[in-house]
């Protein structure tokens, strides 16, 4: 009877294949292994968290002026004019009316990490937030099957709704005996939830009889993307192979919290504002997904040891 291929067989096959491809600069023929040294830990399953805001403070004066102070917003209304002034570190909006019916007004402020929107007297102003700085201490990506960055939040490999051999997104599953890596790049994916790094699962893209053009060897966050010739493979294709959600409201099962995605190329950091699935996996590109609390800095990585440069 034919023997069922086990996960350890896939690892052996994958590393044997990678070794056979030979060396080479990223984006050309050849492949490498990846890794890190941080031990794997456990984390609660995907869910939502609730943040508590500081209480508002209200003061009054004899002149008929009421001032309400929120953590980052101050609203002032006078009896003679409906002047509503909203000020924050990211955006400000001012609206004035010539007549009023009451001596009070309502101002509401909603904030996400991608944009800040302030509404006052039916006037809305939106502005982009400032980007966090890049870390001054690069993380060295190391080779090896035990490389880990982050705590475990998901099971290894594809989910039941992920790739099982049929194409997933724009990624095909190539038989192990017909792999062609003429085009081969490595990108890095970091996922943070409320400041805690979550490890991208290992063995994404490894099916029993074939290897997807997007796959992971370990828990380092490094993603391999290959094809017989240049092919546009994206973050959306990775999540399709993995079988997880990728929207501004849901990242691999974590929902109900604001999401921001940062893209770093050669020391230049940008905040992605379009469809998250459209981000292309390019050589040494670092993609950081922030769920919930704002990051104080964006991680950067050193590839020389990983790629043998």
One domain for residues 98 and 144: no
Residue appearing with tokens 């491809």: 21
pLDDT of residue 279: 99
One domain for residues 23 and 64: no
pLDDT of residue 257: 98
Nearest-angstrom CA–CA distance, 305 and 280: 24
Is residue 2 situated within a structural domain?
no
Q: What percent of the chain has pLDDT over 90?
A: 54
One domain for residues 174 and 302: yes
Nearest-angstrom CA–CA distance, 255 and 258: 8
Task: Indicate the number of domains in the chain.
Answer: 2
One domain for residues 196 and 83: no
pLDDT higher than 80, residue 187: yes
Is residue 30 situated within a structural domain?
yes
Q: State whether residue 55 is helix, strand or coil.
A: coil
Find the domain containing 230 and state its range: 7-49+132-307
Nearest-angstrom CA–CA distance, 29 and 41: 35
List, in order, residues 6 or more apart from 221 with CB less than 8 Å away.
149, 150, 188, 189, 190, 199, 200
- Highest mean pLDDT of the ranges 4-13, 227-236, 296-305: 227-236
pLDDT higher than 50, residue 19: no
Confirm if 60 and 79 have CB atoms less than 8 A apart. no
Nearest-angstrom CA–CA distance, 10 and 6: 7
Is residue 148 situated within a structural domain?
yes
One domain for residues 120 and 266: no
pLDDT of residue 306: 82
One domain for residues 239 and 148: yes
pLDDT of residue 293: 98
pLDDT of residue 142: 81
Is residue 200 situated within a structural domain?
yes
pLDDT higher than 90, residue 51: no
**Closest to 141 (Cα-Cα) out of 196, 192, 200:** 200
pLDDT per position as a tens digit, 233-271:
999 999 999 999 999 999 999 999 999 999 999 999 999
Nearest-angstrom CA–CA distance, 173 and 248: 27
Confirm if 270 and 298 have CB atoms less than 8 A apart. no
One domain for residues 214 and 303: yes
The DSSP code for 145 is: T
pLDDT of residue 136: 96
**Residue where one domain finishes, among candidates 128, 163, 183:** 128
More confident call, 243 vs 103: 243
Nearest-angstrom CA–CA distance, 218 and 144: 8
pLDDT per position as a tens digit, 119-172:
333 322 333 458 999 999 999 998 666 678 999 999 999 999 999 999 999 999
- Highest mean pLDDT of the ranges 35-39, 57-61, 127-131, 251-255: 251-255
**Residue where one domain finishes, among candidates 89, 111, 128:** 128
One domain for residues 180 and 192: yes
One domain for residues 145 and 187: yes
**Closest to 97 (Cα-Cα) out of 69, 117, 77:** 77
One domain for residues 157 and 236: yes
Is residue 247 situated within a structural domain?
yes
One domain for residues 137 and 119: no
One domain for residues 174 and 196: yes
List, in order, residues 6 or more apart from 177 with CB less than 8 Å away.
none
Is residue 1 situated within a structural domain?
no
pLDDT of residue 302: 93
Round the average pLDDT of the chain to a whole number and report it.
72
**Residue where one domain finishes, among candidates 83, 110, 128:** 128
Is residue 259 situated within a structural domain?
yes
Q: Where are the beta strands (DSSP E) in 162-291?
A: 173-175, 183-193, 196-199, 210-212, 214-215, 222-227, 250-251, 254-255, 259-265, 268-272, 286-291
Is residue 72 situated within a structural domain?
yes
pLDDT of residue 29: 45
Handedness of CA 280, 281, 285, 289 (dihedral sign): positive
CB atoms within 10 A of CB 77: 22
pLDDT per position as a tens digit, 207-217:
999 999 999 99
């Amino acid at each position: 009877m034919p023997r069922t291929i086990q996960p350890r067989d896939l690892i052996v096959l994958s590393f044997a294949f990678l070794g056979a491809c030979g060396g080479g600069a990223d984006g050309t023929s050849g492949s490498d292994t990846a890794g890190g040294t941080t031990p794997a830990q456990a984390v609660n399953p995907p869910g939502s968290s609730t943040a508590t805001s500081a209480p508002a403070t209200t003061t009054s004066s004899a002149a008929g002026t009421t001032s309400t102070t929120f953590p980052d917003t101050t609203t002032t209304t006078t009896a003679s004019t409906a002047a509503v002034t909203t000020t924050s570190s990211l955006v400000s909006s001012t609206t004035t009316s010539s007549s009023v019916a009451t001596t009070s007004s309502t101002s509401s402020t909603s904030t996400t990490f991608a944009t800040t929107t302030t509404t006052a007297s039916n006037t809305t102003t939106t502005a982009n937030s400032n980007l966090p700085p890049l870390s001054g201490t690069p993380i060295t990506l190391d080779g090896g099957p035990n490389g880990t960055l982050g705590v475990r939040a998901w099971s290894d490999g594809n989910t039941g709704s992920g790739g099982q051999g049929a194409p997933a997104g724009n990624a095909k599953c190539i038989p192990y005996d017909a792999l062609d890596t003429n085009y081969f790049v490595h990108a890095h994916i970091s996922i943070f939830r409320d400041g805690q790094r979550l490890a991208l699962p290992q063995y994404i893209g490894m099916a029993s009889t074939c290897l997807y053009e997007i796959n992971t060897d370990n828990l380092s966050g490094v993603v391999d993307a290959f094809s017989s010739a240049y092919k546009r493979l994206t973050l959306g294709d990775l999540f399709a192979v993995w079988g997880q959600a990728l929207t501004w409201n849901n990242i691999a099962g974590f929902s109900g919290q604001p999401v921001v995605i940062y893209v770093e190329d050669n020391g230049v950091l940008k905040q992605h504002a379009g469809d998250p699935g459209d981000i292309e996996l390019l050589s040494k590109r670092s993609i950081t997904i922030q769920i919930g609390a704002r990051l104080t800095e964006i991680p950067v990585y050193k590839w020389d040891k990983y790629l043998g440069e």
